[in-house]
A and B are shown apart, each in its own frame.
Chain A
Amino acid sequence: MLKLFSTLIIFISIPLLLQAQSVISGRVTDAKKRPLAGVNISIKGSYDGATSAKDGTFSFSSTANGERIITVSLSGYQTLEIKAELGTAQQFNLVLKETVNELKMVTISAGSFEASDEKKNTVLKPLDIVTTAGANADIVSALKTLPGAQQVGEKEGLFVRGGTGYETQTFIDGMMVRNAFFSGMPDFAARGRFSPFLFKGTTFSSGGYSAQYGQGLSSALVLESTDLPERSSYSLGIGSVGPSVGVDILTKDKKKAYGFEADYFNLSPYYKIMKQKQEPTIAPQGTNGSANYRLKTSKTGMLKVFVTGSYQRFGFEGESLEYPGFKEAFELESYNIYTNINYKENLGKGWRMNLGTSYSTNRDRIFMDTINKVPAPTRIKARQDLSQVRLMLTKGLGRFSVLRIGSEYQYGDERSRFNTFDANYVDSYAAGFAEADVYFTPRFVGRFGTRYEYTSVISRSNIAPRASLAYKLDDKSQVAFAYGEFYQKPEQQYLRFTHDLGFMRATHYIASYQRLAQFHTLRAEVFYKKYHDLLKTTPDYNNNGTGYAKGVELFWRDRKSIKNADYWISYSFLDTKRDYLNYPYEVQPDFAAKHTATLVYKHYIPSTQLNLGATYSFATGRPYYNPNRPESEFLKDRTRNLNTLSVNVNYLTSIGKAFTVFVFTMTNVLGNDQEYGFRYSSDKLRRNMVGPMAPRFFYLGMFMSFGIDRRQEQIDRQ
């Protein structure tokens, strides 16, 4: 019995006998031998373990023995598992490798400014665009505060690095937009057609952009439409130019959303208060409406349908330059419809499809007359239709690399009638592209692509190679280089008269340095751009034009030094000359300024819930044509320097259940004279200054939203 008892004791004690303790200790560092604190060291399947101290050391005792797995883990590092024979005291020197996340990865950055909520390593957020003072919620006006863009006030569009506005193309979900701007009158820039709130991402490329896009000699503005909203919302607004209403419904299952927005504007009351340079005969008025439908077709699939339409008309009368004492009349009526359908889905085996189609039509009727003066008035009817379809396939290669292949087809119908004279043409455009982002390492990436294009109107094709490299120097900074060939067909107004032309071409070389810290951004870029085959109009239409642009650009953004404030400074130095159209030789063109600088400042006062913003822009004088000078002094005159300060104030509050924002914005607060250029009469005796319609523009509005806080969107809505 005793014997039995002793056996029993032994058996029962077996688990206890095994509890011999041994000490496990060591040190954890990263790959650069820096100690890591807070690391969880554990023996798999047991409670035993420790957390490393500040100097990376750890020590714990364990009863575990035999071959066990030791797990070593810390947020931001790859978990390490090692096999070890336990039972005696052991020392471990452990090294953890950092995980590669988006923030640590290098990105293609040369020449591009990206604003996105989803991606972390971008210079801007979509909100930054809409809250920029003076931009009045116009994407293009906001982008003019970035380096590379010129402060051109008399023509719409982005004039980038010595390029004209025509050389910048706008793309929505990969598809080209034919009329990205409202129709305006000569010498007065019109607004962009699309509200910034339609897009979740905006990429402004000032050169060297991807082979996915074509037909822009200088620049691409790439817009990506929003996905499903967070929840349903309704909004109402009333402002000094008119009312607006919006609805955005998200279904219960969160798979579908649909909505519409509509606004009506009429500047007649505003013009009663603010005198304009010219007499409005029809105050600008019109209406915009848009509807959208978004459907999550599956876990990975998304269908988006977007339709927008607008109608506007206006008329002005001003002093005639040509016939003193007489009046010039200009009236315009315009319709526009833009539709876009986009479908994305995974096809399996790592392939993803992006299929899109778009149709747009724009019709303008223009009436121009010198009142009570022969010749008869000019009546212009213009219509532009563009239909297109685009397919892109992407496939992930390895961990980070991506292959993109795609093709697109566009059918453009351009018609115009000057009184009884018709000038119409159609153009079929086809393109294919292939591009790969190759990550040699997470810190070193190359993008290599090429694009083939054919356009029927001039029966020409081209092959455009593009390449970018980017290398990450450390956690925050990277250097990048880009090279590319870019082709574009001549402008519509010349193609109407001759099809015997070729593509214009530009070659880009860009080197850039970027440091992106949590609260600071610094970017410096140098570029060289060579123009070939630019369109000339003398002696007759030909492609003998040439040009170059080179320069240095700086961007500094600081969100920390001043409490509750965020500011950025852009500076562009541009040295450009070109010989195009009727220029006698290569010369600095009239849309280019040598120095351009912008300060954008935003301040939030929490106690009063005020957002204040100011934008100051400066540009040196631009050349203008003076017919009284000899040809050897062509474009020798300069306008005065441009200085302009715009401010905005937003007051956020809640009225009942509605989030409400009061918005006040004013451009050119100091009333500086804006001199964009001069127009001369044909006898060269008189001239008119080209400038804005009024020295200042102000907007006052109130906006309410129910359900979702969309006030931020309304800030600067005008």
Chain B
Amino acid sequence: MKQILFSLLMVSGITFAARAQSEQYQQAMTQQVGLLDSASTFTPAGIQQAANTFERIAEAEKTQWLPYYYAAYCRVNEAFFTQDKGKVDEIADKALVNIEKAAALKGKDSEISCILSMIASARIGVDPMTRGMKYGMESGQHLEEAKRMNPENPRVYMLEGQSLLYTPEAFGGSKTKAKEKFEESLKKFAAEKPADKITPHWGEAYTKMLISQIK
């Protein structure tokens, strides 16, 4: 009897610990993803800290794709923020490692393709004159893929618009076309219903900011 009870108790203790673990995951992720909704996180140091935290969660969990996804998202933003062009590629490489781990767990996904597109775009910044064509194309191809997998993903249109906005007109950029994309993106944001708080849903405030920049 005692033995049975003992083993029962052990089991319940373990499940308790496991549930604590998954609660810990939900809680930590909700908190960290929540931070991404605030603009104050988007400083070079702030985004690096967020990336570090997501990487810790990802490496502790090992089976969840979202922490890897968010780690990649923060890293690629870090690559955009960094002032030292010599570091862009290394940071982008780190983002790539994370998103590949996310893809290995999740499979092909519209959100993952968006990040891949952003990584290619970040690399353009190192030397736009010589890299613009190669990585611009790579970035565009990932976005096409992302759109194919989920045409309702607002981030796809936001990224398309962003690329049109920052590409010189001589190379196919256009502010008016960018604005159309942003408007489309905002419509999709309005319709977007994330399953929970940690499902990727970022970008609406940023899109509004970009649209306000276009005179």
A75 near B56 with CB under 8 A, answer no
Q: Which of A14, A15, A38, A518 contacts B52 (CB 8 A)?
A: A38
A652 to B57, CA, bound (A): 48
A15 near B13 with CB under 8 A, answer yes
How many interface contacts (CB-CB < 8 Å) are there between A and B? 96
Taking CB atoms and an 8 Å cut-off, the chain B residues in 66-106 that contact chain A are: 85-87, 90-91, 93-94
Q: Which of A15, A125, A231, A654 contacts B137 (CB 8 A)?
A: A231
Q: Is B191 an interface residue (CB 8 A)?
A: no
B134 near A230 with CB under 8 A, answer yes
A40 near B55 with CB under 8 A, answer yes
A101 near B134 with CB under 8 A, answer no
Minimal Cβ-Cβ distance residue in A for B168: A606
B45 near A37 with CB under 8 A, answer yes
A38 near B49 with CB under 8 A, answer yes
Q: Is A12 an interface residue (CB 8 A)?
A: yes
Q: Counting chain A CB atoms within 10 Å of each CB, which of B51, B94, B130, B137 scores highest?
A: B130
Q: Is A127 an interface residue (CB 8 A)?
A: yes
What's the minimum C-beta distance from B163 to chain A, rounded to whole angstroms? 14
Contact with A along B19-57 (1 / 0, CB 8 A): 010001000100000000000000001001101110111
What's the minimum C-beta distance from A631 to chain B, rounded to whole angstroms? 54
A47 near B86 with CB under 8 A, answer no
Contact with A along B153-167 (1 / 0, CB 8 A): 000000000000000
Q: Counting chain A CB atoms within 10 Å of each CB, which of B24, B56, B137 scores highest?
A: B56
Q: Is A11 an interface residue (CB 8 A)?
A: yes
Q: Is B169 an interface residue (CB 8 A)?
A: yes
Using C-beta atoms within 8 Å of the partner chain, give the interface range for chain A: 35 or more
Contact with B along A685-718 (1 / 0, CB 8 A): 0000000000000000000000011011000000
Contact with A along B121-153 (1 / 0, CB 8 A): 000000101110110011000000000000000
A125 near B130 with CB under 8 A, answer yes
Minimal Cβ-Cβ distance residue in A for B169: A609
Chain A residues lying within 8 Å of B28, measured Cβ to Cβ, are: 47
Query: Would A46 and B60 be within 8 Å (CB), given that A11-B9, A127-B130 are in contact?
Result: yes
Minimal Cβ-Cβ distance residue in A for B61: A47
Minimal Cβ-Cβ distance residue in A for B17: A15
Q: Which of A44, A48, A71, A659 contacts B171 (CB 8 A)?
A: A659
B86 near A518 with CB under 8 A, answer yes
Minimal Cβ-Cβ distance residue in A for B126: A120
Q: Is A653 an interface residue (CB 8 A)?
A: yes
Q: Which of B16, B45, B93 contacts A38 (CB 8 A)?
A: B45
A75 near B169 with CB under 8 A, answer no
Query: Would A12 and B170 be within 8 Å (CB), given that A40-B55, A40-B56 are in contact?
Result: no
What's the minimum C-beta distance from B13 to chain A, rounded to whole angstroms? 5
Q: Is A350 an interface residue (CB 8 A)?
A: no
A4 near B5 with CB under 8 A, answer yes
What's the minimum C-beta distance from B101 to chain A, rounded to whole angstroms? 15
Taking CB atoms and an 8 Å cut-off, the chain A residues in 178-201 that contact chain B are: none
B16 near A103 with CB under 8 A, answer no
Contact with B along A6-46 (1 / 0, CB 8 A): 01100110110000000000000000000001101010111
B60 near A76 with CB under 8 A, answer no
What's the minimum C-beta distance from A123 to chain B, rounded to whole angstroms? 13
Minimal Cβ-Cβ distance residue in A for B130: A125
Query: Would A47 and B169 be within 8 Å (CB), given that A125-B129, A708-B133 are in contact?
Result: no
Task: List 8 A-B pairs, minimum CB-CB distance, nearest first.
Answer: A652-B170, A40-B52, A609-B170, A51-B49, A11-B9, A42-B56, A38-B48, A15-B17
B residues contacting A by CB (< 8 A) are: 5, 9-10, 12-13, 16-17, 20, 24, 28, 45, 48-49, 51-53, 55-57, 59-60, 85-87, 90-91, 93-94, 127, 129-131, 133-134, 137-138, 168-172
**A230-B134, A231-B137 provided; 20 other pairs, C-beta below 8 A?**
A7-B5, A7-B9, A11-B9, A12-B12, A15-B16, A15-B17, A38-B49, A40-B56, A42-B56, A42-B59, A49-B56, A51-B49, A51-B53, A54-B45, A75-B93, A76-B90, A125-B127, A606-B168, A654-B169, A654-B172
A residues contacting B by CB (< 8 A) are: 4, 7-8, 11-12, 14-15, 37-38, 40, 42, 44-49, 51, 54, 71, 73, 75-76, 99, 101, 103, 117, 125-127, 230-231, 518, 606, 609, 652-654, 659, 708-709, 711-712
